[in-house]
Amino acid sequence: MVAYKSKVVERIHLPSRERRERALEEAGYNVFELAAEEVFVDLLTDSGTGAMSDEQWAALLRGDESYAGSRSFDELESAVQDVMGFSRVVPTHQGRGAENVLYGALLSEGDVALNNTHFDTTRAHVANQGADPVDCPVDRAHDLTVDGSFKGNFSLDRAWSIVDEVGAERVPVVISTITNNSAAGQPVSVENTRRVREFADEIGATFVIDACRFAENAAFVRDREAEFSDSTAAEIAREQLGYADALVMSGKKDGLVNAGGFVATDNETLFERCKQRAILYEGFPTYGGMSGRDVAAMAVGLREAVEEAYVTDRLEQVRTFAELLEDAGVPIYTPPGGHAVYLDAASALPHVPPAEFPGQALVCALYREGGVRGVELGSFAFPDTDRPELVRLAIPRRTYHREHLEHVVETATTVLENQEAVSGLEVISEPENRELRHFTASLEPISH
Ligand SMILES: *Cc1c(COP(=O)(O)O)cnc(C)c1O
C-alpha cells in the first residue's frame, strides 16, 4: 500500500526524439555522459538518489555543525544503537569511506577476504590493502530464472574450499553483503548469517556485514524465512546484524540520505583503530566527512528505513515493476531483488552477439525510445568475465510513482517490438583501467 504523498516536487521533461538521439551520440553512447536534465526517468542507481522525508528535512535544519561533540552525532549514535544494535560508530563521507577505514584496520598484504559477493568498491578496497577478494556466492546466484528465496546467500562450501586451499590464518575477514548487490540485489537469510558467524568463529576471522540494504533484506526475511514470519523488519534487522563483529554502511542506500556512511562495532580495540584511520582519511570522529546536518538527517533516515510502512512499500514497488515487465514479455532476472529489476539483455536482443555488448545496446535503446536511463552490468562493465548480460533498472527510494514505471515498461516493450532496429556497439576509446571503463568509455553503433 502506498505510504507517501508529495510535499515538494521536481519538474522533469522528456526531450524530443531528435534531441535524445543527438544527446546519445554526443555522450559517446555511454549514458554516464548524459546530462541528468536530458533524462526523463532516471534508473541509473538507487544510491543517494532517493527523496528525504519532511522529518529528515526538519532534522537537516537543526543539524549541529560543531567540529567536536556535535549533538547530531549523538543522534546518529543512538539511532545506530536502537536500529542496528551497535554502540560504537565512526561516521564517514559514504560507504567506500567506511570500507577504507575498516578494511585498512583489518587486512594486510597477502590476506584473503571472503564475501558472498564483493561489491565493486569493496573489491577495490580489499585489493588496495594488498589482500585478495574472493567471492563465495551460492550456485544459483547467477542463474537468471531459477526460483529461490535467498539467492544472495554466502556459500559455506566455497568458503571452506578456499580455507582448505590457503589456510585459515590467511583469512582474517569474512563479509556478508545484505542484500547481495552484485548478485541482483538478492537477499541473505538469517539462518545463513548464523552459519557464517560460526564459520568465522571456527577460522578465527572477524565477521563484517556490509549493511547497505539491511532494511530491504530484513523485509525479505520476514516474507520468506518461516522462523521470522511474525517478526517486524526492525526486529529482524537487529537479530541479523547482531551476528556481526562490525558493519560497513552506505547512508546513500538504507540510510535514506543523499550522502553519508559509517562503520559500527562493539569491539573497543577495533573502534579505536577505525577512529584513528577516520581522522586521517575522513574527519574528526564526530562528523567524519559529513556535515552535521547530513549526520542528523541520516539518524532519522535509519529509523525510517525499518518502519514497516516504508520497507513494505519499497519492496512492493520493485516487485510490481518486475511483474509489469514480465507481463509485457520483457525478460528479467527472477525473482526480483530489493532495489532494482535486472533485464536479461541476451534474451531481449538475441541478434546482438556478446562481442557487440547487447546490454549496452539495450541501455542506449531505452534512452533513445523513452528517455529512460539504466546501467549495463554485463560484458561492457565487466570485461574478461563471463557475467550474464544484464541491464539494471534501479529504483530510487520514495521518488517515482507507478506512472513513471509504466512509462519504462512501455518503453521496453516498444524497444523489443522493434528489436531488429537495435544494433550492437563497438568501443572507440576507453580509459587505461579497463575495470572502470563503463564510466567513461565511448562507443559507436556497428552498421552491418
Ligand atoms: C553502494 C555500496 C557500497 C559503497 O557505498 P558508497 O556510498 O557508494 O561509497 C558498498 N557496498 C555495497 C553493497 C553497496 O551497495
Which pLDDT tens digit goes with each residue over 287-306? 999 999 999 999 999 999 99
Give, using CA atoms, the residue closest to atom 8 of ligand 1.
Answer: 95
The fraction of the chain above a pLDDT of 90, given in percent, is: 93
Give the pLDDT of residue 69. Answer: 95
Q: Please give the distance, rounded to the nearest whole angstrom, from the Cα atom of residue 329 to the centre of ligand 1.
A: 32
Give, using CA atoms, the residue closest to atom 10 of ligand 1.
Answer: 95
Give the pLDDT of residue 53. Answer: 98
Lowest mean pLDDT: which of 162-176, 198-212, 345-359, 371-385? 371-385
Give the pLDDT of residue 437. Answer: 84
Compute CA distances 216 → 14, 183, 184, 305, whole Å: 31, 15, 13, 8
> From the CB of 176, is ligand 1 less than 6 Å away?
no
Give the pLDDT of residue 344. Answer: 97
What is the average pLDDT across 239-254?
98
Q: Is the pLDDT of residue 354 over 80?
A: yes
pTM of the model: 0.96
Q: Please give the distance, rounded to the nearest whole angstrom, from the Cα atom of residue 260 to the centre of ligand 1.
A: 10
Q: Is the pLDDT of residue 433 over 80?
A: no
> From the CB of 121, is ligand 1 less than 6 Å away?
yes
CA–CA–CA angle 186, 191, 195 (5° rounding): 105
- Each residue's pLDDT tens digit, 79-112: 999 999 999 999 999 999 999 999 999 999 999 9
> From the CB of 217, is ligand 1 less than 6 Å away?
no
Give the pLDDT of residue 150. Answer: 97
**Interatomic CA distance for residues 63 and 69, integer angstroms:** 12
Q: Please give the distance, rounded to the nearest whole angstrom, from the Cα atom of residue 250 to the centre of ligand 1.
A: 5
3-state secondary structure the chain: CCCCCCCCCCCCCCCCHHHHHHHHHHCCCCHHHCCHHHCCEECCCCCCCCCCCHHHHHHHHCCCCCCCCCHHHHHHHHHHHHHHCCCEEEEECCHHHHHHHHHHHHCCCCCEEEECCCCHHHHHHHHHCCCEEEECECHHHHCCCCCCCCCCCECHHHHHHHHHHHCHHHCCEEEEECCECCCCCECCCHHHHHHHHHHHHHHCCEEEEECCCHHHHHHHHHHHCHHHCCCCHHHHHHHHHCCCCEEEEECCCCCCCCCCEEEEECCHHHHHHHHHHHHHHCCCCCCCCCCHHHHHHHHHHHHHHCCHHHHHHHHHHHHHHHHHHHHCCCCECCCCCCCEEEEEHHHHCCCCCHHHCHHHHHHHHHHHHHCEECEEECCCCCCCCCCCCEEEEECCCCCCCHHHHHHHHHHHHHHHHCHHHCCCEEEEECCCCHHHHHHHCEEEECCC
**Which amino acid, 100?**
N
> From the CB of 368, is ligand 1 less than 6 Å away?
no
Which pLDDT band holds residue 260 (cuts at 50, 70, 90)? Answer: very high
Q: Is the pLDDT of residue 448 over 80?
A: no
**Interatomic CA distance for residues 268 and 261, integer angstroms:** 20
What is the average pLDDT across 318-342?
97
> From the CB of 252, is ligand 1 less than 6 Å away?
yes
Give the pLDDT of residue 56. Answer: 98
Burial category of 54 from C-beta neighbours within 10 Å (exposed 0-12, middle 13-18, buried 19 and up): exposed
Ordered by where they begin, the domains of the chain are 17-39+308-445 (3.90.1150.10), 54-305 (3.40.640.10)
Q: Please give the distance, rounded to the nearest whole angstrom, from the Cα atom of residue 249 to the centre of ligand 1.
A: 7
**Interatomic CA distance for residues 279 and 97, integer angstroms:** 12
Pocket test for ligand 1, best of 45, 96, 100, 154 (most atoms within 8 A of CB): 96
Beta carbons of 172 and 102 less than 8 angstroms apart: no
> From the CB of 151, is ligand 1 less than 6 Å away?
no
> From the CB of 250, is ligand 1 less than 6 Å away?
yes
Give the pLDDT of residue 436. Answer: 76
Beta carbons of 425 and 442 less than 8 angstroms apart: no
> From the CB of 260, is ligand 1 less than 6 Å away?
no
Residues contacting 35, CB < 8 A, separation 6+: 23
- Each residue's pLDDT tens digit, 20-63: 999 999 999 999 999 999 999 999 999 999 999 999 999 999 99
What cell was used for 66?
Answer: 560543531
Give, using CA atoms, the residue closest to atom 4 of ligand 1.
Answer: 95
Q: Please give the distance, rounded to the nearest whole angstrom, from the Cα atom of residue 175 to the centre of ligand 1.
A: 14
Which pLDDT band holds residue 384 (cuts at 50, 70, 90)? Answer: confident
- Each residue's pLDDT tens digit, 105-137: 999 999 999 999 999 999 999 999 999 999 999
Pocket test for ligand 1, best of 181, 294, 339, 439 (most atoms within 8 A of CB): 181
> From the CB of 117, is ligand 1 less than 6 Å away?
no
Q: Please give the distance, rounded to the nearest whole angstrom, from the Cα atom of residue 305 to the centre of ligand 1.
A: 16
> From the CB of 122, is ligand 1 less than 6 Å away?
yes
> From the CB of 177, is ligand 1 less than 6 Å away?
yes
